[in-house]
Structure 1
Amino acid sequence: MTDAAFTEQRARELLAAAGAPLPAADAELLALGENAVFAAGGLVAKVGREASLLERARRELRIAAWLAESDIPAVRAAETEVLLADGHPVTLWHRLPAPERPARPADLAELLRLVHALPAPGFELPRRDLLGGVERWLRLAGDAIDPADADYLRERRDGFAAAAAALTPHLSPGPIHGDALPRNVHIGPDGPVLVDLETFAGDLREHDLVVTALSLDRYGLDPEEYHAFVHTYGWDVREWAGCAVLRGARETASCAWVAQHAPGNPAARAEFGRRVASLREGDPAVRWYPF
């Protein structure tokens, strides 16, 4: 169960209790979401919001070690074992240098080519369950959204889940990043580095490519940036017959994800309304805004 009181102060207390070699009181808070991310000196610590994230944290460390052995440019773990504090997982990472510039889609494509060329690791990767959080997000939305919209998204979820399970891929399935966005690429002095390894999965490689195609249509990505992404990767996922299915699944999940923020947040309610209306109307070009 989620720790409703997972505040910055609570996360600092857990960091101290874990015995991590960071000054819990003075470390810089970089992010506070599913993990509280702190940095000090050459280290970064990720404190999990809830105890149920323990297995995911362990898997992320195994993935980091595997990527290091495979010479994939990715964030490196500073410790191979998860620390625990009151059941919450804490992992330690080497801090990356300040970014040279913002990452672009072509930088992401360069890393995806490397990841997609990897064979399966010597441990099991989960499937990429895009739609697994839909019910929880709709439940958190409560009466801040129209129950008819919630039912509509549930129906879409079930339909796209069944359709996705029946897809015939163009690429050979295997390891994927799972959340392939430029924000998960860090441009260091030696080039692009992959970060945020929590969503690594073993599934259709097309999952990682549909994200950028959706960004072109929904989030205002410059067509030239998309062209550079396709050129660097070497294939345009829009040529694949199954693209619309994975796109529909991701849109459904993205719409439901915004819904959870609707209670008490007018901007989230407005964005949810924009998204669900465009899905109902079958208009794939309505602009969505990152939230």
Structure 2
Amino acid sequence: MRAEEAIDAVTSAATQAGLPAHDASVVRVGENGVVLLPSAGVLARVVPRAAKGSAPRREIDVATWLASRHVPVVHPARPEPMIVGQYVVSLWEYLADSRPADLVTLAKCLRQLHVLAIPANLLPCLSPFDGFEERLQAGACLDINDRMLLRELRDQLSARWVTAEFTLGEAVLHGDAHMENLLVSAGGREAFVDLEAVCIGPPEWDLTLTALYYECGWFPHKEYVDFVQTYGFDVRLSPSWSELRMARMLRMTLWLAQSAGNDLQRQRQLRHRINTLRDGTAPAGWTGY
């Protein structure tokens, strides 16, 4: 998605909703787009209508349900998504002056999420390999050998995943649980955002990103220890840690492949990730974006 496409779609949706859009600005674009409408106090999410696995209506329903269960979550600014040409636009409250949560807050809020009773007929089950081929094909910087390697790792992992053992049972998951997807406002309000991956599955899935980021060297040891102690479980001790870890590394690599584009720094990091997946040293030397 190009920035101008996201702006055009959101401007049209805002006009239909009677919201000011003269100061619309792109927050990010990629598979989806996020556009800020400062005067309206709204953050708009834009997804292609044909996007596989995209369900803006469900995201709104999930946010409403989580709020009713007193889980800290961003609130929809409009109860229905809007169709604008080939895009679907959903409007959300904008949490001004917010910052990413620290790891202790993330662990606390994940515990709160994971103890919810699983709802009937609202959430899909976790499917770690959904969208793999689409993301692989979208990685323009990947050559044929890269794709062969990633498919081979995926095939090996999917066979192991069938018999993977998870200690913590099943729960409602955020699905993409990291500090930037839990915001804390200047007034102290906490809110999970980016709800498109909320699903049912093993809580270990939500803990893996933090553990993997720690392995990458992105957090000090004490911060990770505090995260583990607050949540009450270290996912690295899970019998399926190797499967969880590889699943996340593959997803992180494909995300970078999609976003590398003409960015030479990202292309170099992508090449490093591929090389370390090939020689078994991943995630040594992985940097974050």
Please list every run of 5 or more consecutive structure 1 residues that lacks an aligned counterpart in the other structure: none
Quick check: 1:257 aligned with 2:273? no
- Alignment-derived partner of residue 76 in structure 2: 77
Runs of 4 or more above 4 Å deviation: 3-6
- Alignment-derived partner of residue 61 in structure 2: 62
For the structure 1 residues 207 and 39, does the alpha-carbon distance in structure 2 shift closer, same or farther, using more than 3 Å as the test?
same
Deviation at 1:16, TM superposition (A): 4.2
Deviation at 1:50, TM superposition (A): 0.7
Decide whether the 8 Å contact of 1:105 with 1:182 is kept in 2: yes
Please list every run of 5 or more consecutive structure 2 residues that lacks an aligned counterpart in the other structure: none
Decide whether the 8 Å contact of 1:176 with 1:208 is kept in 2: yes
Q: How does 1:166-245 map to 2 (within 5 A)?
A: 166-188=163-185, 189-245=187-243
Deviation at 1:5, TM superposition (A): 7.8
Q: Secondary structure at the match of 2:151?
A: helix
TM-score, normalising length from structure 1? 0.89
In the alignment, the residues of structure 2 paired with residue 42 and residue 261 of structure 1 have an alpha-carbon distance, to the nearest angstrom, of 29
**RMSD, aligned α-carbons:** 2.2
1:149-193 CA-to-partner distances (Å, cap 9, x unmatched) read 210100101111222232121012121000000001111223432
Q: Secondary structure at the match of 1:280?
A: helix
In the alignment, the residues of structure 2 paired with residue 116 and residue 171 of structure 1 have an alpha-carbon distance, to the nearest angstrom, of 10
1:223-270 CA-to-partner distances (Å, cap 9, x unmatched) read 111011101101111111101101111111211222233443322221
The count of corresponding residues between Structure 1 and Structure 2 is: 286
Decide whether the 8 Å contact of 1:22 with 1:40 is kept in 2: no
For the structure 1 residues 36 and 261, does the alpha-carbon distance in structure 2 shift closer, same or farther, using more than 3 Å as the test?
closer
- Alignment-derived partner of residue 105 in structure 1: 103
Decide whether the 8 Å contact of 2:78 with 2:90 is kept in 1: yes
In the alignment, the residues of structure 2 paired with residue 145 and residue 97 of structure 1 have an alpha-carbon distance, to the nearest angstrom, of 38
In the alignment, the residues of structure 1 paired with residue 22 and residue 188 of structure 2 have an alpha-carbon distance, to the nearest angstrom, of 32
Quick check: 1:95 aligned with 2:105? no
Deviation at 1:78, TM superposition (A): 2.2
Decide whether the 8 Å contact of 1:175 with 1:203 is kept in 2: yes
Decide whether the 8 Å contact of 2:10 with 2:44 is kept in 1: no
For the structure 1 residues 11 and 264, does the alpha-carbon distance in structure 2 shift closer, same or farther, using more than 3 Å as the test?
same
- Alignment-derived partner of residue 269 in structure 1: 267
Quick check: 1:281 aligned with 2:257? no
1:37-91 CA-to-partner distances (Å, cap 9, x unmatched) read 2223453142423113596100100101101110111111122222222242222
- Alignment-derived partner of residue 130 in structure 2: 132
Decide whether the 8 Å contact of 1:180 with 1:211 is kept in 2: yes
Between 102-111 and 184-193, the greater mean CA deviation after superposition: 184-193
For the structure 1 residues 103 and 55, does the alpha-carbon distance in structure 2 shift closer, same or farther, using more than 3 Å as the test?
closer
TM-score, normalising length from structure 2? 0.90
Decide whether the 8 Å contact of 2:76 with 2:93 is kept in 1: yes
Deviation at 1:214, TM superposition (A): 0.2
In the alignment, the residues of structure 2 paired with residue 219 and residue 133 of structure 1 have an alpha-carbon distance, to the nearest angstrom, of 28
